[in-house]
Amino acid sequence: MLPLLAEMAADPATGMLLADSDSGAIGIAFPFLAGPAVFIAVYVGIYRYYRNTDKRHHFEKETEVAVGNLKQGDRKVGTNNRQKSRTMSGVNSTDHLERVRRIQVR
């Protein structure tokens, strides 16, 4: 039963179907979405509280660092209009451990 519900919840077609249906019909989906969501949240939450697999030393914030000689070079290169998302795609400015292409610096 639960895998079936999870599958339904994960299926994008379900959301589209519900979005296109009458607003009252959305209510029928509530139990099928809330149940699996709470199940996953409780399972993952307890597991992480016990195992602490996500814990690490945040060296990038806690190491003593002095910054100087900052140079900024920003220039407008275009526009990106009529976007549905509040944030741009591929934002990685808060993911400090994700490495991107290396360039040569002198």
Where in 72-101 is the site for other proteins (CB under 8 A)? 72-94, 96-97, 99-101
List 4, 16, 17, 42, residue binding other proteins (CB under 8 A):
42
Angle at 5 between CA 4 and CA 7, to 5 degrees: 65
CA–CA dist 97, 56 (Å, integer): 12
List 7, 11, 17, 59, residue binding other proteins (CB under 8 A):
59
| Shortest distance, position 17 Cβ to other proteins, whole Å | 12
| Shortest distance, position 10 Cβ to other proteins, whole Å | 15
Nearest one of 39, 16, 44 to 29, comparing CA atoms: 16
CA–CA dist 1, 77 (Å, integer): 52
12 binds other proteins, rule: CB under 8 A: no
4 binds other proteins, rule: CB under 8 A: no
Two structure tokens written together for 56: 């690490």
| Shortest distance, position 11 Cβ to other proteins, whole Å | 17
